[in-house]
Amino acid sequence: MYKRSRQATVFLALLYFCSSPIMAAQQPKAAATAPSGLSPDRAISLAEQGRCRESISGLRHAMAGSVTAETRKQAGVLGVRCSLAIDDRDSTDEFIRLLNKQFSKDPDVLFVVIHAYSDLSTRTAQDLGRTAPDSFAAHKLNAEALEMQGKWEPAQLEYETMIKKDPNVRGIHFLLGRLLLSRPDAGPDVAERAKQEFLKEIQIDPSNAGAHYILGELARRDQKWDDAISRYNQALKADPNLGEAYLGLGYCLVNEKKYEDAIAPLRTAERFMPENPEVHNSLGAALQRSGHKDEAQKEFAIHEKLISAEGTAKPE
């Protein structure tokens, strides 16, 4: 039985970028633009003093000017921090764009950009909470945040509240079903409860690949091969890039002794997940049973190599 990795849906960044002294500084309500002709050095100096409103324009010009790369990098990083400090999100976007264009592989820049996106995400979530606290979007965001924190009961309550308001809202039955399967304390009937949520989701949205896929996984676990094969095929019809569905499909076909039929989906799974040892193990079995012994041995060798690498990998 192969290992199943949970399909990720939506990632909610909740890191904070406010630890910088610049972010904590109270900004003077002075002119919003820098003085005409502000030099890069002067703009950087003003930004380092926390005089962000005065420095933004000069920092922007510094990034476009004929100065050293180190000066442009410093101006961009300070520009991101200062624009966030005064909540000038358009300028933040511009500085991020310029940094990504000019320093796309610089680890220090990437660190700043990651936290900037996280900060923007947090602020936008706060905007949603302030402007539309009772909206479906706000409830969904809150539920996802609670789920990420492992607060299963309040997260489930949020999803159930949304369903009570509108039983036909798209995506929520899927999220509730996924949460039920994730809960460590969901009870012995959790699989059936989750299955019903996925079936309701498909009634609302037949193109929900995730719901079809997990139904396939549940059927595969119960060795209901035909049902699982049908579900995986429907998942792939909705999302042809769902690598794990190819693996599940191939695995079921091998168990149904349809070895030749299993080779094609497992080859595709191999392209999507070359580092997954179970892909190579299942493909090796399909090849061996269909008479392709040399190719099978290659796949089994890759499987063993990956398993050995997993066993010797040092924990981080």
Q: What was the pLDDT predicted at 1?
A: 41
At residue 214 the predicted structure's pLDDT band, cuts being 50, 70 and 90, is: very high
Each residue's pLDDT tens digit, 146-166:
988 999 999 999 999 999 999
What mean pLDDT value characterizes the chain? 86
Residue 315 scores a pLDDT above 50: no
Q: What was the pLDDT predicted at 26?
A: 39
Can you tell me the mean pLDDT for 207-233?
97
Residue 5 scores a pLDDT above 50: no
Residue 36 scores a pLDDT above 90: no
At residue 185 the predicted structure's pLDDT band, cuts being 50, 70 and 90, is: confident
Q: At what angle do helices 243-255 and 225-238 cross, to 10 degrees?
A: 160
Q: What was the pLDDT predicted at 139?
A: 86
Residue 95 scores a pLDDT above 60: yes
**pTM listed for this prediction:** 0.69
At residue 37 the predicted structure's pLDDT band, cuts being 50, 70 and 90, is: low
Can you tell me the mean pLDDT for 79-89?
94
Each residue's pLDDT tens digit, 300-310:
999 999 999 88
At residue 197 the predicted structure's pLDDT band, cuts being 50, 70 and 90, is: very high
Each residue's pLDDT tens digit, 19-31:
343 343 334 433 3
Can you tell me the mean pLDDT for 64-79?
92
Q: Name the least confident of 12-16, 245-249, 251-255.
A: 12-16
At residue 137 the predicted structure's pLDDT band, cuts being 50, 70 and 90, is: confident
Can you tell me the mean pLDDT for 122-126?
89
User: Using an 8 Å Cβ cutoff, are 3 and 281 in contact?
Assistant: no
Q: What was the pLDDT predicted at 312?
A: 61
50: left (phi over 0), alpha (psi -120 to 50) or beta: left
